A and B are shown apart, each in its own frame.
Chain A
Amino acid sequence: MIPFLILLLAAGPAAPPAADTTAPPVQLVAAPAGVRAFDTPNDQGKSITIQWTAGKGGKAEAWLVERTGPDGPKVISTNAAGDIGYLDEGVKDRVRYTYRIAAVAGTDTAWSEPTPPVASSPQLFNTARMNVLISMLVFFVLVVYYIETAKRGKNLFVRRIAGLDAVEEAVGRATEMGKPIIYVPGLGSVADIATIASLNILGEVAKKVAQYDSALLVPNRDPIVYTVAREMVKESYAKAGRPDAFKQDSVFFVTDQQFAYAAAVDGLMVREKPATNFFLGMFWAESLILAETGAQTGAIQIAGTDQVFQLPFFITACDYTLIGEELYAASAYLSREPLLLGSLKAQDYGKLLILVVVVVGSVLLLLSKTPAFSVFRNIAGFFNIN
């Protein structure tokens, strides 16, 4: 045994095996897999979308996107390691291109196979907006149905809106006190629905003001709104049978600067001490500056806006506030015009429909967690608007 050990120690450590020079070189990075290029959907053309996934093997540090078109191959983009797609917006419509993607790691580059040729073209219909179209059509049908119902003379019930019931009282108060009414049609442009709604209410208010022989002041921030407001007030005075009572300078343009406008209207309120203030339309940060000054002058204040963030300020500082859609309902409510009331009913049923969709959708989403109802797991995606 001892001679055997001596022999083993004398032999020393085992020699390393000789290097295998016939083995293939180690691939550091894998070429991307599943590369596909397609015409970007729902766009105005001149755009191709390229998508890929990382290949199995070494991780890429960056991706190169190569486009081959009539001008030959050209690397058009270097993308970060986390990217899995690229939007090529430098293409011409109806010209065929192929794409290759390279995974880059250090000095190593691995190219994918080229994609089949693809050409971009503009689309005629945005399929991602199909949900909007369906909802719009349903709502249009409701509106038309209830307008037709109203035309047939059916009495449509509309819930009481305290802020609008107070309009008559507010105008009457101004007459009794011999003080003017200030009507602020908001700071929005005539393209805003809230401004249009406000101008419709202005027409009704101006008619009552003309009947009661009160004074009306309408300061404006937008020149187009000013032009429309002046015509509306003038027309309302004419309709009330008092065209001579209309004063040209009762509707006037102040400035298009937000806070300069607020300062001017504040000054007007402090000097004129109006009996009633109307703040109806679009408002931003100046809402509380206006409403609080008006409250301090002791005026009855009726406000209304569809700007959710300004509503708390108006509710706090004004006597009556039209919340959101109540502003839109005002012209129908005040005029009691059957056609306008019909559309108001359609709005109510539209909301009911949304409520049903929300409840049913929520239940289905909850149920989709179970295998039997897993088909509904993407139901929320239908309501996305792109």
Chain B
Amino acid sequence: MKRNIPLAICLGMGILMMVQFFVPHPISVGFYDLTTKWVRIVAAFALVLGVGSFVMYHSEKLRRRRPGWFYSVVALVAAAVSTVVGLAWGVKQTSPLQNYIFTPLLVPLNASMFAILAFYMASAAYRAFRARTKESALLLIAAFIVMLGMVPIGAAIWHKLPDLAEWILSVPNMAAKRAITFGVALGGIATALKVILGIERGWLGGGKQ
């Protein structure tokens, strides 16, 4: 019973959503909007579980003085302060949460993490472009042509270089991307079908029974 009810709901909803895709009638559109709201409601409840997990994980880490426990103090204090400020003054654009926490702290921190990507790209590119194998040598040559073809100096070296770079991007690169996209699309449909038909039951909590 514990498994059959979720499987029946999944089968029913899966078929309904498939049918919905082909029916433009307002009842069908209304049903889609309604289920989207359900998802949001379920997510809101799950967030409570998420916050519970967050507090438990960091409290436990702090209690046992595990490596990096100090960061757990920062995480718990930050969460508590944000919650109190948010509940007391709201979350509007002019609220203290926005003015003192979100804009001056969270936004720059996010931007800093994103900026780190540039350095990681350089180190990853160095590793990828060492041309130790035929494939990486090919990658190095292709990347070199594309990078040069995209900047004015490329055209100055050889006027056909931008065209060659464009060809690499729009022919072999695009062909590979499309092949992956076809596979992903079919794989997605097959996985969805397996879940709807109850063949794939991993999402129920591990394996079939």
Contact = CB atoms under 8 A, between A and B. Distances in A.
A130 B166 CA distance: 35
A191 B29 CA distance: 19
A297 B114 CA distance: 20
A324 B116 contact: no
Given A259-B113, A316-B128, A340 B188 contact: no
Given A259-B110, A288-B124, A306-B187, A196 B47 contact: no
A320 to B, nearest CB: 15
Interface in B181-209: 181-184, 186-195, 199-200, 202-203, 205-208
B56 interface: yes
Given A271-B67, A292-B123, A343 B190 contact: yes
B180 A143 contact: no
Contacts, number: 214
A226 B181 contact: no
B60 A259 contact: no
Interface residues of A, number: 93
A271 B68 contact: yes
A223 B106 contact: no
B5 interface: no
Interface string A125-167: 1100100110010011001000100000000000000000000
A126 B21 CA distance: 8
Contact of A328 (B28, B43, B54, B187): B187
Give the size range of B's interface with the partner.
35 or more
B181 A253 contact: no
A197 B117 CA distance: 27
B71 to A, nearest CB: 7
Interface in A212-234: 220, 223-224, 226-228, 230-234
Contact of A223 (B43, B190, B202): B43
A316 B127 contact: yes
A253 B51 contact: yes
A18 B82 CA distance: 90
A48 interface: no
A39 to B, nearest CB: 12
Contact of A226 (B46, B61, B109, B190): B46
A88 interface: no
Contacts of A267: 68, 71
Contact of B190 (A45, A239, A346): A346
A379 interface: no
A200 B203 contact: yes
A171 interface: no
Nearest to B123: A292
Nearest to B44: A223
Interface in B46-72: 46-51, 53-54, 56-57, 60-61, 67-68, 71
Given A45-B25, A292-B120, A328-B188, 10 more contacts: A125-B24, A136-B18, A143-B190, A223-B47, A253-B57, A260-B106, A288-B121, A306-B188, A316-B128, A343-B199
